């Protein structure tokens, strides 16, 4: 960890998105140096995972680093967000560090190589842990056509994934969070459930939620989920909470906040979902996990599995080993 902190001092002098690309190269070259006996092969509410610590979507958008990420100890890896067609995402700069608060702001906008490229990357892939694929619509897709794009992506990836995450919560795709409207949400759940019922492959299906809706909306969405056969939730995506932007001095920067600034908000929502969601559903928690204590707190609040992203950026690959060896 001390070595990474020294390296981080240099890396954080460079543009964040450039460092992100460097980290991919680093893992390609050196991931085997981090290998350890990380897999306990658990089954969590029907989902087989290597262990309870996972990588959140956004780090490996195209499914190019799965063996390397397993090397460093992740028990579940979520790739994406992938869209039907390749798209460049939003204009740069679109990734910003808030170092004082150990947080990030991103307005990336689902930049990825598209469905066909990811499918090519997944051919003949051997994996040890669970693979999740996070799916979302293209930026220029009309709202009335979003559901069809989710279905296209589900059909494409259902045979490749242990679970598929329906991303309705990125703040960087215009109108996407309107899928939290209970009427739209119910239609989404109905259609994706019907699609799975006719499919030969039946991966788990999770919904990734925004942390910025009101409690009345969440109650309605949870009721719909509880009456469905979908498998669980991911709590939560990044926040656009203006109070947190004021606190961080980042009011002029567009995008969603992740990291320690998100921790309290995501934990509050996690506890709310634990209280109200059908206990048979899987709860994956993400937001502000930087050490064993913050990982354990997610489990104490009701998470079945925990993901990291920003903590991984700030703490480095050794964070995974510390959590696996010392977490609950």
| Rounded Cα distance, 189 and 179, in Å | 11
pLDDT at 2: 67
Each residue's pLDDT expressed in tens, for the chain with a length of 328 residues: 667 888 899 999 999 999 999 999 999 999 999 999 998 999 999 999 999 999 999 999 999 999 999 999 999 999 999 999 999 999 999 999 999 999 999 999 999 999 999 999 999 888 889 999 999 999 999 999 999 999 999 999 999 999 999 999 999 999 999 999 999 999 999 999 999 999 999 999 999 999 999 999 999 999 999 999 999 999 999 999 999 999 999 999 999 999 999 999 999 999 999 999 999 999 999 999 999 999 999 999 999 999 999 999 999 999 999 999 999 9
Tokens of 19: 């460092």
List C-alpha distances in Å: 168 to 49, 58, 84.
24, 14, 15
Reading the block at residue 199, the tokens are 């499919």
Q: Which helix (H) or strand (E) holds 18?
A: helix 16-30
Cβ distance 212 to 267 under 8 Å? no
Q: Give the Cα separation of 310 and 260 in Å (integer).
A: 8
* Assigned CATH class of 2-326: alpha beta
CB 149 within 8 A of CB 85: no
199 is catalytic: no
Mind giving me the DSSP string for 97-117? Answer: EEGGGTEEEE---S-B--HHH
Considering the entire predicted model, what is its pTM?
0.98
Per the listing, tokens 């390609």 go with: 28
Q: Which of 170, 210, 248, 258 is catalytic?
A: 170
| 3-state SS string for 182-230 | HHHHHHHHHHHHHHHHCCCCCCEEEEEECCCCCHHHHHHHHHHHHCCCC
Give the full edge-to-edge strand order of the sheet including 256-259: 95-98, 103-106, 256-259
Decide: 183 and 143 in contact? Cβ < 8 Å: no
From residue 218, give the alpha-carbon distance in Å to each of 20, 147, 172, 223, 272. Answer: 33, 20, 21, 8, 9
Q: Kindly state the helix (H) or strand (E) to which residue 7 belongs, with its residue range.
A: helix 2-11
In angstroms, how far apart are the furthest CA atoms of the chain? 53
Distance of CA 103 to the CA centre of its chain: 16
């Amino acid at each position: 960890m001390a070595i990474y902190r020294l390296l981080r001092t240099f890396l954080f002098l460079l543009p964040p998105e450039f460092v992100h690309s460097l980290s991919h190269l680093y893992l390609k070259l050196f991931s085997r140096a981090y290998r350890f006996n990380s897999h306990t092969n658990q089954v969590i509410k029907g989902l087989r995972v290597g262990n309870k610590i996972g990588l959140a979507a956004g780090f490996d958008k195209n499914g190019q680093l799965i063996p390397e990420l397993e090397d460093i100890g992740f028990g579940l890896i979520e790739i994406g967000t992938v869209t039907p067609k390749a798209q460049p995402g939003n204009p740069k700069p679109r990734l910003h560090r808030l170092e004082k608060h150990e947080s990030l702001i991103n307005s990336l906008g689902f930049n990825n190589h598209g469905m066909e490229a990811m499918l090519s990357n997944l051919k003949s892939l051997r994996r040890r842990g669970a693979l999740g694929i996070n799916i979302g619509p293209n930026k220029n897709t009309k709202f009335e056509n979003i559901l069809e794009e989710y279905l296209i992506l589900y059909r494409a990836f259902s045979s490749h994934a242990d679970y598929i995450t329906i991303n309705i919560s990125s703040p960087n795709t215009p109108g996407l969070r309107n899928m939290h409207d209970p009427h739209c949400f119910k239609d989404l759940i109905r259609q994706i459930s019907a699609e799975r019922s006719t499919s030969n492959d039946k991966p788990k299906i999770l919904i990734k939620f925004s942390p910025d809706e009101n409690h009345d909306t969440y109650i309605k969405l949870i009721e719909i989920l509880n009456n469905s056969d979908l498998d669980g939730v991911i709590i939560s995506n990044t926040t656009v909470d203006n109070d947190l932007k004021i606190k961080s001095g980042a009011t002029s920067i567009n995008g969603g906040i992740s990291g320690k600034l998100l921790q309290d908000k995501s934990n509050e929502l996690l506890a709310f979902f634990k209280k109200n969601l059908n206990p048979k559903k899987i709860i994956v928690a993400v937001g502000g996990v930087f050490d064993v204590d913050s990982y354990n707190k997610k489990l104490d609040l009701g998470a079945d599995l925990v993901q990291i992203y920003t903590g991984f950026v700030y703490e480095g690959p050794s964070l995974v080993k510390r959590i696996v060896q010392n977490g609950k």
